[in-house]
Amino acid sequence: MMESRWAYLIHLMAWAGPFIALQLGVLVFYFRERSWAVLRAALVPAGVMGVYLSVADHLAIREGIWSFGEGKHLGIYIGAVPLEELLFFLLTSVMVALGLTLFAALLARREARVP
| Interval 9-27 mean pLDDT | 93
pLDDT for position 105: 82
pLDDT for position 96: 95
| Interval 24-37 mean pLDDT | 88
pTM of the model: 0.84
Query: What contacts 90, CB < 8 A, 6 or more positions away?
Result: 46, 47, 50, 54
pLDDT for position 87: 95
For residue range 92-103, list pLDDT tens digits in order. Answer: 999 999 999 888
Largest CA distance in the chain: 59
| Interval 75-98 mean pLDDT | 93
